[in-house]
C-alpha cells in the first residue's frame, strides 16, 4: 500500500529535477559533442555493483571510467542513435577481464560499429590479454612512450614434493583418477606428463583464440599473426612499424587528433574529449529511469566463488558451505525471485561441503528454475555443486570438469624431530591415529583410506550420471580428473550450452515465464572477507579429508603476458 505514494513522490522529484535543468540543457544542446570518451580499467562487472550512496574518503573515480558492462552497453546504444555522434574514444588502462567478459565487451563495441559509428582506442601500455580490446577499434592509438606487451601465454606448474622432503614434511594421499593431479603438487618432485598435457591443451586453445582475434582485428593471416606475437614485446615505434597500432599520439593531443576544436584561443591548449556525463548534460531530455508502480521481477544470483570449505564466512576467497546454503535458501524463499543463477567460479574443495551445496541447489530447483553459469572456473567440487541446476552454461574457454577425489594428510614428524620436538602416539583401536600428523598411514589405515576414496569417487560418478542423464561408465570415461574447456565440456555432455552472463540471465527468466527484457538482479550471500592463510590451509589439511579439488585450474589463472618493471 505504501509503494504507490512513494513511487509517485519519487517520480515527481525526478520530473521536477528534469524540468529545472531543462533551460540549461537547452542552452547546451548546440554544443553536443561529436566524440565521447570512455575509460576501461580494472575488472568490469556485468551489472553495477551496489555500494554506499555517500562516498567518504578514498581516491575519486575518474569520470570517464566504465563501471559495468550493462551501463556501458546502455550508453553505447544511446550514442549510436544520435546522428551527431561520430564515435567514441576508448582509453584502455589496466583492464583485467575474463575471456567471457572480454567477449561481452567486444560484442557491445561491434554493435556500436555496426550502427555506423567509429571506435578509436588509445593506451599507454597493454599486455596480451588487453590487446584484443585495444585492437578491436577502427583506429588504434598508442602513447609515443607506450608499449605493447604482446607475447602470448605461459603457464607455470609447481610441485613441492622434494622441498617438503627436505624440511621433514611428507604428504600422504590416495586419489581416484590418473588426471586428478592435485596431490602431485604436494607429493611429486617433478611435473607429471599428464599435468603437462593438461596445461598444453589449454595453452593451445587460448593461443588459437588470440591468433584469431589478432587476425580479425588487424587483417592478418594466422601465420602473420603468430609471427607478430613471436616478435613481441613491442616499443611504441616497433608496434607502429608492425601494424599493431595506427598512430602514436600523446594523451593531451587526442582531442585535436579527433578533430575537436579548443574553446580557448591559441593553438597550444589541450582539447579534452567530453565524457558521457558531459554528453548527457547537452541532452534536452536525457533518459530517466522512472520508478514503476509494479515492481520488476527479480533474478537471484548466488555465487560459489573460491575454494569450497565447510562452515561459514570467507566471502571472496572461500566458498563456505553454510554461507552458500543460506543464500540459496533465501533465494528460494524470496517470492519476488522468479529464477536463480548459480554463478560458479571455484576449483573445488571439500567433498562434504560440495555435497551440502548440491543438495541445497536441488531443493531450490524444485521451487523455481536454477541455471548454473561458469564464467571462468567450475572444477571438481565446484562442478558437483553445479549439477544440481536444471542446466549448466559455460563461457567458451572456462575450465570445467576434474571429476575425481583425493584424500590424505600431511606428516610433520620429520620436521618436529629436526626442531627437537619429541612426540609419542598411544592408541586404542587400529585406526585411532588415522588423523595424526606425527606419522604416515599404517597398512590398516591405508586400506581404510583407499576404501574411503573409492566410495567417494563412486558417489561422485553416481551424482553426475544422474544429473546428466548418463551411465556411470559414460561419466567415468569423462572423469578421472580430466579437465575441459567450456567448448569441450559441452561436446562431452558435461555442459548444456555456451553463452554469456546476460544471455544466461534472460534464459533463466524465460524458464520462469517472466519478462526477460526488464528485470532486476539481486545477489544473495556474501559476508566478511577472510584472508587467505597458508597456516590455516596446512592446519586444515593435516587431517584426512575428502577433497574434490583442481590444482591445475589454479595454475591456469596465472596465464598472461610479461610486464616490464623499469
The answer to the question of residue 224 being in a domain is no
pLDDT band at 536 (very low <50, low <70, confident <90, very high): very low
Task: Give mean pLDDT, residues 142-164.
Answer: 90
pLDDT at residue 16, as a whole number: 64
| Last residue of one domain, picked from the residues 247, 280, 313 | 280
Stronger pLDDT, 19 or 492, i.e. the higher one: 492
> For residues 356 and 311, is the Cβ–Cβ distance under 8 A?
no
Residues 276 and 390 in one domain: no
Q: What is the pLDDT of residue 527?
A: 45
**Do residues 379 and 252 both lie within one domain?**
no
Same domain, 240 and 342: no
Q: What is the pTM for the complete model shown? A: 0.82
Would residue 213 count as lying in a domain? no
Q: CA dihedral in degrees (77, 78, 83, 89; nearest 10)?
A: -80
Q: Looking at the structure, tell me whether residues 250 and 387 fall in a common domain.
A: no
Cα gap 105→46, rounded to integer Å: 10
Cell of 560: 598472461
Q: Return the H-helix or E-strand segment holding 112.
A: helix 99-114
Whether residue 356 is found in the same domain as residue 481:
yes
Euclidean distance between CA atoms 424 and 145, whole angstroms: 66
Query: Within a 13 Å sphere around the CA of 417, how many CA atoms are in the beta-carbon half?
Result: 12
Residue 130 falls inside a structural domain: yes
**pLDDT value at position 559?**
34
Residues 347 and 270 in one domain: no
390: in domain: yes
| Domain closes at, from 216, 247, 280 | 280
Residue-wise pLDDT for 203-225, tens only, equals 999 999 999 999 999 999 999 99
Element at 379 (helix H, strand E): strand 370-379
Residues 6 or more apart whose Cβ sits within 8 Å of residue 16: none
Statement to judge: residues 135 and 247 lie in one domain: yes
Q: How confident is the model at residue 530 (pLDDT cuts 50, 70, 90)?
A: very low
Q: Within 13 Å of residue 85, how many CA atoms lie on the same side as its CB?
A: 29
Residue 422 lies in a domain: no
Go through 324-334 and write b for each residue having 16 or more CB atoms within 10 A of its CB, e for each that does not. Answer: bbbbbebbbee
Q: Which domain CATH number covers 450?
A: 3.90.226.10
Model pLDDT, residue 372: 97
Strand partners, 345: 305
Residue 464's Cβ-count burial label (10 Å; 0-12, 13-18, 19+) is buried
Is 178 a domain residue? Answer: no
522 and 489 both lie in a single domain: yes
Residue 12 is predicted with a pLDDT of 62
Which phi-psi region, left, alpha or beta, contains residue 359 (left: φ > 0; alpha: ψ -120 to 50)?
alpha
Q: Is 94 left (phi over 0), alpha (psi -120 to 50) or beta?
A: left
β-pairing verdict for 87-95 and 318-320:
unpaired
Residue 341's pLDDT band, with cuts at 50, 70 and 90, is: very high
Q: Which of 217, 350, 351, 380 is catalytic?
A: 380
Is 400 among the domain residues? yes
Q: How confident is the model at residue 542 (pLDDT cuts 50, 70, 90)?
A: very low
Give residue-wise pLDDT tens across range 96-128: 888 889 999 999 999 999 999 999 999 999 999
* Known catalytic membership, residue 530: no
DSSP 528: -
Task: Specify the higher pLDDT residue, 30 or 172.
Answer: 172
Q: What DSSP character marks residue 408? A: E
Q: What's the pLDDT band for 291 if we cut at 50, 70, 90?
A: low
In-domain check, residue 414: no
Q: How many structural domains comprise the chain?
A: 2
380 as an active site residue: the answer is: yes
Q: What is the DSSP string of 266-288?
A: SSSS--PPPBHHHHHTT-SS---
CB-count burial class (<10 Å; 0-12, 13-18, 19+) for 197: exposed
The one catalytic residue among 117, 180, 220, 338: 180
> What confidence score (pLDDT) does residue 75 get?
94
Q: Are residues 271 and 319 in the same domain?
A: no
Same domain? 323 vs 272:
no
Look up the domain containing 404 and give its range.
298-409+444-556
Give the single-character DSSP code of 252: G
- Of the pLDDT bands very low, low, confident and very high (cuts 50, 70, 90), residue 340 is very high
Amino acid at each position: 500500500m505504501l509503494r504507490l505514494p512513494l513511487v509517485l513522490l519519487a517520480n515527481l522529484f525526478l520530473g521536477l529535477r528534469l524540468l529545472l535543468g531543462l533551460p540549461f540543457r537547452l542552452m547546451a544542446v548546440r554544443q553536443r559533442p561529436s566524440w565521447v570518451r570512455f575509460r576501461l580499467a580494472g575488472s568490469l562487472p556485468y551489472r553495477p555493483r551496489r555500494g554506499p550512496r555517500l562516498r567518504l574518503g578514498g581516491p575519486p573515480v575518474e569520470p570517464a571510467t566504465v563501471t559495468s558492462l550493462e551501463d556501458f552497453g546502455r550508453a553505447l546504444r544511446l550514442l549510436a542513435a544520435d546522428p551527431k555522434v561520430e564515435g567514441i574514444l576508448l582509453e584502455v588502462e589496466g583492464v583485467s577481464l575474463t575471456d567471457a567478459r572480454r567477449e561481452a565487451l567486444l560484442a557491445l563495441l561491434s554493435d556500436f560499429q555496426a550502427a555506423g559509428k567509429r571506435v578509436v582506442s588509445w593506451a599507454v601500455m597493454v599486455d596480451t590479454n588487453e590487446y584484443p580490446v585495444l585492437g578491436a577499434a577502427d583506429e588504434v592509438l598508442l602513447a609515443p612512450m607506450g608499449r605493447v606487451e604482446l607475447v602470448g601465454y605461459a603457464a607455470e606448474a609447481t610441485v613441492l614434493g622434494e622441498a617438503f622432503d627436505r624440511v621433514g614434511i611428507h604428504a600422504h594421499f590416495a586419489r581416484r583418477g590418473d588426471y586428478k593431479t592435485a596431490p602431485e603438487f604436494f607429493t611429486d618432485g617433478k611435473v607429471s606428463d599428464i599435468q603437462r598435457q593438461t596445461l598444453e591443451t589449454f595453452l593451445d586453445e587460448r593461443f588459437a583464440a588470440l591468433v584469431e582475434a589478432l587476425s580479425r582485428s588487424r587483417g592478418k593471416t594466422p601465420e602473420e599473426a603468430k609471427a607478430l606475437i613471436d616478435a613481441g614485446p613491442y616499443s611504441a615505434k616497433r608496434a607502429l612499424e608492425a601494424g599493431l597500432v595506427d598512430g602514436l599520439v600523446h594523451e593531451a593531443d587526442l582531442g585535436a587528433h579527433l578533430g575537436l576544436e579548443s574553446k580557448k584561443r591559441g593553438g597550444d591548449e589541450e582539447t579534452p574529449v567530453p565524457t558521457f556525463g558531459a554528453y548527457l548534460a547537452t541532452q534536452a531530455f536525457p533518459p530517466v529511469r522512472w520508478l514503476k508502480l509494479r515492481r520488476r521481477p527479480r533474478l537471484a544470483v548466488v555465487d560459489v566463488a573460491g575454494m569450497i570449505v565447510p562452515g561459514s564466512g570467507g566471502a571472496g576467497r572461500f566458498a563456505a558451505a553454510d554461507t552458500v546454503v543460506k543464500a540459496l535458501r533465501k533465494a528460494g524463499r524470496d517470492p519476488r525471485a522468479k529464477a536463480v543463477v548459480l554463478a560458479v567460479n571455484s576449483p573445488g574443495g571439500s567433498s562434504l561441503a560440495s555435497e551440502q551445496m548440491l543438495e541445497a541447489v536441488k531443493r531450490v530447483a524444485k521451487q523455481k528454475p536454477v541455471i548454473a553459469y561458469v564464467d571462468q572456473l567450475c572444477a571438481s567440487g565446484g562442478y558437483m555443486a553445479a549439477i544440481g541446476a536444471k542446466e549448466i552454461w559455460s563461457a567458451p574457454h572456462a575450465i570445467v570438469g576434474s571429476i575425481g577425489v583425493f584424500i590424505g594428510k600431511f606428516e610433520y614428524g620429520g620436521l618436529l624431530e629436526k626442531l627437537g620436538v619429541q612426540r609419542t602416539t598411544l592408541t586404542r583401536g587400529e585406526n585411532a591415529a588415522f588423523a595424526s600428523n606425527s606419522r604416515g598411514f599404517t597398512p590398516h589405515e591405508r586400506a581404510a583410506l583407499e576404501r574411503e576414496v573409492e566410495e567417494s569417487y563412486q558417489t561422485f560418478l553416481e551424482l553426475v550420471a544422474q544429473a546428466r542423464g548418463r551411465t556411470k561408465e559414460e561419466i567415468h570415461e569423462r572423469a578421472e580428473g580430466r579437465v575441459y574447456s567450456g567448448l569441450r565440456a559441452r561436446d562431452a555432455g558435461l555442459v548444456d550450452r555456451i553463452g554469456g552472463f546476460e544471455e544466461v540471465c534472460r534464459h533463466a527468466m524465460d524458464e520462469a515465464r517472466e519478462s526477460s527484457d526488464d528485470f532486476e538482479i539481486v545477489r544473495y550471500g556474501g559476508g566478511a572477507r577472510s584472508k587467505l592463510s597458508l597456516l590455516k590451509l596446512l592446519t586444515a589439511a593435516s587431517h584426512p579429508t575428502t577433497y574434490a579439488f583442481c590444482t591445475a585450474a589454479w595454475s591456469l589463472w596465472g596465464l598472461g603476458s610479461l610486464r616490464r618493471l623499469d
